Chains A and B, each alone.
Chain A
Amino acid sequence: MSAPQKPGPPFWLLAELTYRCPLHCAFCYNPVDFARYEDELSTEDWLRVLREGRELGAVQCGFSGGEPLMRQDLEVLVAEARRLGYYSNLITSGIGLDESRIKRLKAAGLDHIQLSFQDSTREVNDFLSSTRTFDLKRRAAQLIKGQGYPMVMNCVIHRLNIDHVERIIELAVELDADYLELANVQFYAWAQINRAQLLPTREQLRQAEAVTQQWREKLGNKMRLLFVVPDYYETRPKKCMNGWGNVFMTITADGLALPCHTARMLPGLAFPSVREHGLREIWYESEGFNRYRGDSWMKDPCRSCPEKENDHGGCRCQAYMLAQDPAAADPVCDKSPEHHRVLEAIAAAGKPGMIEKPLVFRGPKESRRLDRAF
């Protein structure tokens, strides 16, 4: 067991500029109670956060949300990120992108754009019959390519669209994408509420991977295809965030500094606000960032596990959600005494004809309702 060493500098600064979003994805990764946090950071706050992050050594900067294009000062923030020497990434659904906006973003020095296929559950038919959503994506894709950016697409995959992976790949080919990430939904926030409807079956997963592999061979270098398996189907957890407080810092719309964008849910941990503390102090001194650094916080089976360097015991949020203990082994691991919970969820997904509760679509009204119910 080793005491936490002094951590290196953060590498990634993720700015979740707003929780506002015109869409209602049933797998949204924003906190379920997001409607509480309406008090967004000001432009000046964000400029200071960017400056302090860069002074701390961060190199990559992501702008996400919600939908970051909802912030009218996005161009100002991108320009400052560029001036400071960040490599800037915009993660967007493309809604709100038009010719003048993309030109301004390009002129401000934006380095990279990732376009997400969104809301393919509520609009699954629309999406698959390639009408409105597809037109919107095509327009966004043309704008992005028109400014010389590579076309990088991300599509969240789940039980309700996984059987259409082939169609999704075809859409990406039609959109002339350079890169397509088929990322299986991970079960946090809204996706956790909707897990029974969103977790694919083992057979679906096998099929989808086989189809993806065929297309990979067919497309060769023309388009790169990445398929991310849901970690419920693994026997070892992911090395979450590459280690807690190791390389990654998220700042939420209302100014909370987090070691990962879902950590806000963890009980008994007060995360500092950038309204009150500088980033250097937050990174090196705060209880929130120090709690799960190193491995002295681990319990068995992780504490005595020869593999602990590989995965640091997995994801703290998943441990909390599935084992009700954020310091437990991630139950995805088959050495975890709570692993049966993951197996039960998988078994339930495979049972035909189970009674399904309705999907809960993300939105301010639902957020307030769920917040009360808890």
Chain B
Amino acid sequence: MSAAIDAALLLDARPRIARGLRLQWEPAQDAHVLLYPEGMVQLNASAGEILKRCDGERDVTAIVAELEQAFEVEDLQQDVLAFLQLATAQRWIEGL
């Protein structure tokens, strides 16, 4: 499969937070965190903004567009895809 087709498939995917994990805003850490059995990861601001849009409804294209609009930046697609792949490898999200 060529890289272009690969990316196109990913853009249609609707990622969601993996089963058993919960994303929430944690005032004590002033950050989004991912909770899982007996543990927690504290997310940096961009990771939190991406993951909170991974609801199984929005596709990757929509997530990228929303982020670009919200933060008034362009060309986020590569960064977002790279992070989503990392998040998949960490088993934080499913459905990519």
Contacts and interface: CB of A to CB of B under 8 A. Distances in A.
B33 interface: yes
B46 interface: no
Interface string A94-123: 000000000000000001101000000000
If over half of B's interface residues share one DSSP class (helix, strand or loop), that class is named, otherwise mixed; here it is strand
B11 to A, nearest CB: 27
Interface in A45-91: 57, 59-60, 85, 87, 89
Contacts of B19: 148, 150
A148 B40 CA distance: 21
16 contacts: A11-B40, A60-B38, A85-B26, A87-B22, A87-B35, A87-B36, A87-B37, A87-B40, A111-B20, A111-B22, A111-B37, A112-B37, A114-B37, A148-B19, A150-B20, A152-B37
Interface residues of B, number: 13
Contact of B38 (A57, A85, A89): A89
A352 B72 CA distance: 75
A149 B19 CA distance: 8
Given A85-B24, A87-B22, A150-B19, 20 more contacts: A9-B28, A11-B40, A12-B38, A57-B28, A59-B35, A59-B40, A60-B35, A60-B38, A85-B26, A87-B36, A87-B37, A87-B40, A89-B37, A111-B22, A111-B35, A111-B37, A112-B20, A114-B37, A149-B20, A150-B20
The 7 closest A-B pairs by CB, nearest first: A87-B35, A57-B28, A112-B37, A59-B40, A150-B20, A85-B24, A89-B37
Interface of A: 9, 11-12, 57, 59-60, 85, 87, 89, 111-112, 114, 148-150, 152
Interface of B: 19-20, 22, 24, 26, 28, 33, 35-40
Nearest to B36: A87
A149 B36 CA distance: 12
Nearest to A152: B37
Nearest to B25: A85
